[in-house]
Amino acid sequence: MLTSNVCLFNYCIQRNRSISSQLSMELVEMMQCLKPLRLLGLTSTNDEDDGCISHIEELYLNEFRHALQNTPYEVLSQAYLDGMECDVIITEVKSTPTSCDCDSTNSYHSTQTIVANIEIDGPHHKQPKKLQYTELRDEYFRQHHGVSVRRVDVSRGDGSKKHHVAETVLGILKELKLI
């Protein structure tokens, strides 16, 4: 939580430029201290909430996984990016060759690039403060990580119907040009 607050606060301040230079320097120093954590990438939330996801999030997660099977994409749930939890993350898995000095054959290792963050939003996301937070958070992800954020509003009541979930997922994947 501290990581996410520092990242968002620093980003907000950079946009508005309405703080003292002393505080600005302290925030930059904190951001530098967070850099090693950021290099760790995505971490599971299992230690905080036993990995529990809502029924609706699970429906969407399974549909994304089904739609992207046999593709270079991997679908993760409840992952963190700069200390902020993401409901569904889509990463592109790329294999890159690395040369091995010992016998001049190539070996491969895989790297992941975050392509998209899909947020499953219930009724609490319509509260004014939550809307401000999510807007700032989404903008931060786009600007600092190039991550496309899509929000699915499930507060209407049809968000958990299987056919609606499948249609929504396919629409998002087509919009992101992943299928």
pLDDT digits (tens, 9 = 90+) for 30-40: 666 655 555 54
Task: Say whether both 34 and 48 belong to one domain.
Answer: no
Q: Six-digit token pair at 174? A: 């087509």
Range of the domain at 35: 1-40
- Residue 103 scores a pLDDT above 70: no
Number of independent structural domains in the chain: 2
Task: Say whether both 35 and 48 belong to one domain.
Answer: no
Task: Say whether both 85 and 156 belong to one domain.
Answer: yes
Range among 38-52, 57-71, 113-127, 156-170 rated most confident: 57-71
Q: What is the pTM of this model?
A: 0.65
Choice among 36-50, 97-111, 121-135, 136-150 with the minimum mean pLDDT: 36-50
Tell me if 28 sits within 8 A of 35, measured CB to CB.
no
Tell me if 140 sits within 8 A of 8, measured CB to CB.
yes
As a whole number of angstroms, the distance between CA 81 and CA 26 comes to 22
Task: Say whether both 24 and 75 belong to one domain.
Answer: no
Q: Six-digit token pair at 157? A: 């009541």
Task: Say whether both 76 and 91 belong to one domain.
Answer: yes
Task: Say whether both 96 and 26 belong to one domain.
Answer: no
Percent of the chain whose pLDDT exceeds 90: 28
Task: Say whether both 50 and 117 belong to one domain.
Answer: yes
- Residue 123 scores a pLDDT above 60: yes
Task: Say whether both 9 and 67 belong to one domain.
Answer: no
Task: Say whether both 138 and 57 belong to one domain.
Answer: yes
Task: Say whether both 6 and 88 belong to one domain.
Answer: no
Q: What is the pLDDT of residue 111?
A: 76
